[in-house]
Structure 1
Amino acid sequence: MPRELLRLRRLLLALTLVPLAAVLAGLLGWLVVPVLALLGLLPLLALAWCWRLLERNWRSWRYAERADDLLISRGVLWRELTVVPYGRMQLVEVTSGPLERHFGLATVQLRTAAAASDARIPGLEPKEAARLRDRLTELGEARSAGL
């Protein structure tokens, strides 16, 4: 997985928690007691803790194309392994929002007939995402022809 996905998630984390810390410290210091402004450090402590967790989560994402199915693995504390048979794929799409495009990333979304079996692979380079989409579509059509 490209490291840009980690950079994007860390940026979003910082853009959320740093202003929250500033507002919390300002309001508590101004409205209540200046000493309570130190509670504004709590979001910054959460930022430091989550900074490392984001890297562990980023490292946990894996996918593998096998002969008959696609494996997607992720998770640190709760590991999740998703196996999607090529013949069950109904739709393979590549999406990329404004922030993802800025960081040169795309997400491959897989849809099957079962609502709970949808899977996604985030943080791919656009060329790899397009290659994977084309390959999965080709394999899906070949495997579903016999159904």
Structure 2
Amino acid sequence: MPPRLEPSDAEWRRVSPKQIGVELLGSVISIVVTLAVAIVAFNLGAGWVALVAAAIAASSLVMAAFVPRRVRAYGYQLREDDLLFRRGLLFQRFVAVPYGRMQLVDVNRGPLARLMGLSDLKLVTAAATTGVSIPGLTEDAATELRDHLVELAESRRVGL
């Protein structure tokens, strides 16, 4: 019987709550930059550019209000044959990445995430649509998970 692609009843592992701070800080930087563009454009007499920049800043502010809930929606499960990742509020996305199909497991640390002691774990397969990036893992958890997934991937590829 093929493995189930639906989420199992197992416990979802969540990302660090510090990821909320990383995403909010990124939103604040974006809002400040677009407001600065709006102010400069308005002072230079480009009212329509100022209006567009202000609208972008306003929409970024609205999106920032959803950051805490969006981060709480991130989760992953290590199942017998694959890693299952979920994300999304309105449009939920579940991606199952078979261990034997993983070609690259990469740990990324951007400047804001590094400031908070967090990392992103990126899984790449041959299929472009199954690439997964798990944000908001602590540096130790990302390194440990990367090593575990590489070990699983190598053991599953031996049988191919």
Class of the TM-score when normalised by the shorter of the 2 chains: 0.7 to 0.9
Q: Residue 94 of structure 2 aligns with which residue?
A: 81
Q: Which residue identity does 1:73 align to in structure 2?
A: R
Is the aligned partner of 1:115 residue 2:128? yes
Q: Residue 156 of structure 2 aligns with which residue?
A: 143
Q: Residue 5 of structure 1 aligns with which residue?
A: 19
Q: Residue 15 of structure 1 aligns with which residue?
A: 29
Q: Residue 131 of structure 1 aligns with which residue?
A: 144
Q: Which has the higher mean CA deviation after the structures are superposed, 125-134 or 98-107? A: 98-107
CA contact (8 A) 1:25 1:39 kept: no
CA contact (8 A) 1:96 1:107 kept: yes
User: Which structure carries more helix by proportion?
Assistant: 1
The alpha-carbon distance between structure 1 residues 131 and 27, as it changes in their structure 2 partners (threshold 3 A), is same
CA contact (8 A) 2:30 2:60 kept: no
Deviation per CA, 1:22-42: give whole Å up to 9, x if none: 542464377489xxx999865
CA contact (8 A) 2:77 2:84 kept: yes
Partners in 2 of 1:11 and 1:69 — Cα distance? 33
Partners in 1 of 2:16 and 2:66 — Cα distance? 17
List alignment gaps of at least 5 residues for structure 2: 1-14
CA RMSD of aligned residues (A): 2.4
Partners in 1 of 2:124 and 2:46 — Cα distance? 52
For residues 27-106 of structure 1, the aligned pairs below 5 Å read: 27-28=41-42, 31=45, 42=55, 45-106=58-119
The alpha-carbon distance between structure 1 residues 125 and 42, as it changes in their structure 2 partners (threshold 3 A), is same
List alignment gaps of at least 5 residues for structure 1: none
TM-score, length-normalised on structure 2? 0.77
The alpha-carbon distance between structure 1 residues 16 and 69, as it changes in their structure 2 partners (threshold 3 A), is same
Partners in 2 of 1:100 and 1:28 — Cα distance? 34
Query: Per-residue deviation at 1:50?
Result: 1.6
CA contact (8 A) 1:18 1:43 kept: no
Partners in 2 of 1:48 and 1:113 — Cα distance? 37
Paired-residue identity, %: 37
Report how many aligned residue pairs link the two structures. 144
Partners in 2 of 1:88 and 1:32 — Cα distance? 52
Query: Per-residue deviation at 1:92?
Result: 1.0
TM-score, length-normalised on structure 1? 0.83
Partners in 1 of 2:37 and 2:153 — Cα distance? 51
